[in-house]
Amino acid sequence: MSDWNTRILVFSKGESEGRYFNNRSLIVRRGKSHTEFDLRFNSVEEGLEYVSKGGEIDELCIFRRGDRLPLNDLIEIRNGLIYGFNSMDEEKYWLAHEIFEDFWKHYEGDLSTFFQNVVLLCVSMVHFQMNHESNSSRLFGEARRGLQHYIDDADSWEFSYPLDSKILKVLRESALTLSTA
């Protein structure tokens, strides 16, 4: 199913992945309070029909190939940043990665590099959720080094899951300041 057009993230509290095993492209990520099922389909309709046959869904996010966040004015930028950091607060690191990737591609130069490293930080947490702890730690270190240029005490950050709330606070403040200046 490499020619997918729709990606659906299903967030469920306490749900086992048994009902999704017959989907070949299933990716499972585990947060402390939820399990995230990442599924790919040819269309939104196909995906919604598939997930509607399952059990309880706490949240559903749908991505269509080529869709991007609108980042045309300060309000859209601010709303996108808030959504991205709230997703990180909720341990929805893949979703946050998708959001911040739009910022990375939208900007150029230093701001692009800043968001590239925020994406890398999110990806490090995604690897942890998938039990790839050595990759997670390595990627965290790379992101931390990349963010030292923007955040004075980034070199003192310690790897932990979930991300330390102090790190998120500093990232949030830096992103809002840098992108709305």
Q: What domains appear along the chain, each with residue ranges and CATH number?
A: 6-64 (3.30.70), 74-179 (1.10.3450)
* Distance (Å, whole) CA 5 – CA 67: 10
Tell me, what's the pLDDT at 55?
64
Q: Compute the distance between CA of residue 53 and CA of residue 92 in angstroms, rounded to an integer.
A: 23
Strand pairing class (27-30; 59-64): unpaired
pLDDT by 10s per residue, the chain, length 181? 446 678 888 887 765 555 665 665 778 888 887 888 888 888 888 888 888 876 667 887 887 777 777 888 889 999 999 999 999 999 999 999 999 999 999 999 999 999 999 999 999 999 999 999 999 999 999 999 999 988 888 889 999 999 999 999 999 999 999 887 7
Q: Do you know the residue count of the chain?
A: 181
